């Protein structure tokens, strides 16, 4: 048994690297099962939903219920559908995010002059024209949100710009900051995760590879945190960061030591 009722697990850099399973992950997941912990996968990917992660992990022998997965895309969709049900949302983001928003009955507009709300995210078609239109959409005091703060995204041959870079450009031209980030490490994300796990923050463990998102989310929400060194964070980052995890694990395979 364990003191934790639930565990929030990051995916990329924690469970998989690209399409490859990170060594030791199977042992970590078995330890969770043995401890009878509820688990919630939480990715800051702003272009995917729960079904994607079921399909991604199924070849590795892991069964994933899509309802036990959160992403910055699905959290953003839930937040907008609940808090801006009658508003038109101007999206700077990918087509897959657009589909997730539409599935959640979020009303979208492609006309920046009709924007009641603006959402910034990852967009591999981002251009000067997009930036110009987002400036128009952000005129006045419309609510301005971002899906996630990740400025870069690791890919097989290096890194590419992420949502955070695009949101920063939008903030610069509009001369204002986002009103809120909806994915990790926001209070919106922490609340969504806590409700899925139906556990008190003191009974939740957060495990991930990013100090500024995974670990920051847990620290702000009063959860216990563990960083794994299989993704973005290395030991030099731990020495220089203001965000201090409660535990440092070489990989998810060491999870049993803190359960």
Whichever domain contains 94, its CATH number is 3.40.50.1000
Each residue's pLDDT tens digit, 191-227 = 999 999 999 999 999 999 999 999 999 999 999 999 9
Q: What value does the mean pLDDT take over residues 62-83?
A: 96
* pLDDT of 1 above 70: no
84 token code pair: 């801006």
| Whether 163 and 90 share a structural domain | yes
- One domain, residues 86 and 147: yes
Q: CB of 112 within 8 A of CB of 120?
A: no
**Burial of 24 (C-beta count, 10 Å sphere; 0-12/13-18/19+):** middle
> For residue 2, what pLDDT is reported?
81
Has residue 64 been placed in a domain?
Answer: no
| pTM of the shown model | 0.94
pLDDT, the chain, mean: 95
Boundary of a domain, candidates 181, 197, 224? 181
Residues 219, 195 contacting (CB under 8 angstroms): no
Q: Does residue 88 lie within any of the structural domains?
A: yes
Q: Element (H or E) spanning 57, and its range?
A: helix 50-57
Domain extent for 191: 6-44+184-258
Q: What is the pLDDT of residues 122-159, one digit of tens each?
A: 999 999 999 999 999 999 899 999 999 999 887 767 78
Are 156 and 80 in the same domain?
yes
102 and 177, same structural domain? yes
Looking at the domain assignment, is residue 83 inside a domain?
Answer: yes
The pLDDT score that the predictor gives to residue 154 is 73
**Segments of the chain assigned E as strands:** 6-9, 16-17, 20-21, 38-43, 69-71, 89-92, 108-109, 117-120, 144-146, 152-155, 158-161, 180-181, 204-208, 224-228, 247-249
- Regarding whether 176 and 83 lie in a shared domain, the answer is yes
Query: Is 125 a member of any domain?
Result: yes
Shared domain check, 198 and 173: no
Q: Has residue 212 been placed in a domain? A: yes
Of 181, 206, 223, which marks where a domain is finished? 181
Indicate the residue among 134, 160, 181 that finishes a domain. 181
Do 88 and 160 lie in a common domain? yes
How far apart are alpha carbons 181 and 258 in whole angstroms? 30
> 152-155 and 144-146: which strand pairing?
unpaired
170 and 146 fall within a common domain: yes
Angle between helices 187-197 and 72-83 (to 10 degrees): 100
Same domain? For 156 and 90 the reply is yes
Interval 67-77 mean pLDDT: 97
pLDDT of 198: 95
In a domain, 50, yes or no: no
Strand partners, 175: none
Domains in the chain, number: 2
pLDDT digits (tens, 9 = 90+) for 87-122: 999 999 999 999 999 999 999 999 999 999 999 999
Same domain, 129 and 170: yes
pLDDT at 187 over 70: yes
Residues 120 and 162 both lie in one domain: yes
Q: Check whether residue 159 and residue 223 sit in a common domain.
A: no
18 domain-assigned: yes
């Amino acid at each position: 048994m364990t003191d934790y009722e639930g565990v929030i697990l990051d995916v990329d850099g924690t469970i998989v690297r690209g399409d490859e399973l990170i060594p030791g992950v199977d042992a970590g997941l078995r330890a969770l099962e043995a401890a009878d912990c509820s688990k919630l996968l939480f990715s800051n990917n702003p272009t995917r939903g729960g079904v994607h992660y079921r399909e991604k992990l199924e070849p590795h022998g892991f069964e994933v219920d899509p309802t036990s997965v959160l992403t910055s895309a699905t959290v953003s969709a839930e937040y907008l559908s609940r808090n801006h049900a009658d508003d038109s949302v101007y999206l700077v983001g990918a087509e897959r995010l657009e589909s997730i928003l539409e599935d959640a009955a979020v009303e979208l507009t492609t006309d920046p002059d009709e924007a009641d709300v603006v959402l910034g995210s990852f967009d591999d078609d981002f251009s000067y024209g997009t930036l110009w239109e987002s400036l128009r959409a952000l005129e006045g005091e419309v609510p301005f949100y971002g899906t996630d703060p990740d400025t870069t995204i690791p890919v097989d041959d290096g890194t590419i710009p992420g949502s955070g870079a695009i949101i920063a450009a939008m903030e610069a031209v509009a001369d204002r900051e986002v009103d809120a980030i909806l994915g990790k490490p926001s209070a919106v994300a922490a609340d969504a995760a806590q409700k899925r796990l139906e556990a008190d923050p003191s009974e939740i463990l957060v495990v991930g590879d990013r100090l500024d998102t995974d670990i920051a989310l847990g620290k702000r929400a009063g959860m216990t945190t563990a960083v794994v060194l299989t993704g973005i964070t290395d030991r030099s980052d731990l020495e220089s960061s203001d965000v201090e995890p409660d535990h440092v694990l070489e990989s998810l395979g060491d999870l049993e030591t803190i359960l």
